[in-house]
A and B are shown apart, each in its own frame.
Chain A
Amino acid sequence: MGRHTILGLEISTGRLALRIAAGVMLAAVLFAFLSLLPMAAQGILSEFLPEEFGAFYDVIAPLIHPALPFTGAAIAFLSLLIVVLRGSAAYGPVTAAFGLAFIAHILLAFSFGTPSLAFPPEMITQALQEALNMPVAIDIELAAYADLTGLMLVFMLPFILTVIKGVILTVSRRS
């Protein structure tokens, strides 16, 4: 059985194949949840939301940041590298990059901690008119917002530590 040297990592072909298989599986799972799911979110929403709430698609859509599929794909790819390159010279930088990618993904997923929904004025005016059963001559803007900064930091903490771990790995490898 042959041996390979990858960035200072001595590994047998069998173990490399196992790592690649495990990495691909992990990457696939992460890709599905973190990249494909945000990409298909609007379709899923339209599937589950009742028809009368159709107008809300446009309101909810901005909550799903367009960059999420890309950060999700980056996380999936970096997770593959982490599994394959564990013990190599690149393990530390890849771990730090993985942590940073996850932090970026969480920031985008939480809209930097303060997601908000802005309802179109015409939607509110129409709802008011239907509720009051009379014409309403009001320009009205309704926004729903959340402050999820605390929760976001709780989610980010493991990946902040992951970045620190990657830095420690990189520094210790060089020294």
Chain B
Amino acid sequence: MGAWPLKLINALIAISILAAVAVVAAMAVSLVLLAPSVSVGEPQISASPSNASISVSVPFVAANPGVFAINGPAVCVTLESSEAVLLSFSSEPITIPPGSPSRNYSFAISVNLSDLPADELRRLVTSEDTLVLKASASIEMFPLAGVGASVDASAEWSPIVANLTFLAPEVEPLNLTHARVTLPFTFINPSDLDVPAVIEGNLTSTYGASAHFSEALTIQSNSPNYGTVLADIPLPANMTPYLLSNATLGFSASASVALLGIVQIPFNATCDLAWGAPLANLTFGDPAAGPINSTHSLIAVPFSFFNANGILTAEGSFDAVLLLPNGTVAGASGQVDFLAPPHTAFESNVAFEIPNAAASPSYTLVAIFGTPYGSFQMEVVIDG
């Protein structure tokens, strides 16, 4: 073998040694010049209009006067439960080309919240688990070197809500136009987190009325919690049938509890309102007649009812007339007012002054009632 291969290999060895020294020097110079050129701006956090994603961007300025491209920084994060990947996102790739002057870059991360596994989050709200966080960050001087760090962390997850129980709802009349449904619930929050929650839903009734309700609350950490959601729903538009007769009004609630703004726990409940008629057992009794003078007599008709409602006061007035069998008016009362607090009876008399010539074995008493709940007319045949 001739001498030229050896000469060539010796030359290559010399060149490669010089190249290695040059590469190291170039890397060192690049790093020395790059580091002071970097300045980081204020991080910006923004959410999409539908809150389906959150974006975080950190603007920075950097110059790369060296001969090697800088790739990064790059970040990758994954959060897993024992059954699913809860969250996974990576930063957008950044390349600072070699020889580039000072320029603006943005370190951006976008987290798509619509990818969150709703079923798994709902399970975690009430279940213990172990959450595993894996994160890595790296930066590379292509193609020679790269550095990075990785974090692998696991933590025991305590459920936010344990023993969530919706108790039997209650309903009661609120005022002349609305009833109030109360949805009580109890639960324990054994975690170290205070959890914002929103209970939201719809209430419907058997008589067609509906209402929407929403209640925001904070579930305190490490404490038993008791709460109620209140929903007001209109009473029937035509209350006349309910003035005189007791009834059962049915209500059903369909709602969900939203925890942390993302986890939904649905629940349904029904309840009945035992409606007590404010004018229950409204009765005009047997009349008592007596002379006033030689031409007129007084007929007094006893009038009574029981306010069977536990909340509302029965109040109003009526005007009555006595009709003869042939339909002519024998006499008229003045306005009769009545007022009965809840669960009390009311008794009174309505008096008619009639001419003796109009005396009859029987009369028809026609009374027109006016109440805050509506007006109605009542006809009763009474003996003379």
Binding site for B on A (CB under 8 A): 137-148, 150-151, 154-155, 157-158, 161-162, 164-165, 168-169, 171-172, 175
Contacts and interface: CB of A to CB of B under 8 A. Distances in A.
Interface in B140-165: 140, 143-156
B134 to A, nearest CB: 10
Nearest to A162: B13
B10 interface: yes
B357 interface: no
B96 to A, nearest CB: 17
A165 B13 contact: yes
B20 A137 contact: no
Given A139-B154, A142-B150, A172-B5, 11 more contacts: A140-B151, A145-B148, A146-B147, A148-B145, A148-B146, A150-B145, A151-B144, A154-B23, A165-B10, A168-B1, A175-B1
A120 to B, nearest CB: 13
Contacts of A140: 151-154
A147 B16 contact: no
A169 B6 CA distance: 8
Interface string B1-36: 100011001101100110110011001000000000
Nearest to B156: A137
A150 B144 CA distance: 4
Contact of A146 (B5, B6, B12, B146): B146
A65 to B, nearest CB: 19
A154 B153 contact: no
Contact of B20 (A138, A142, A154, A172): A154
Contacts of A171: 1
Contacts of A151: 23-24, 27, 144-145
Contact of A161 (B9, B145, B148, B152): B9
B143 A165 contact: no
A161 B12 contact: yes
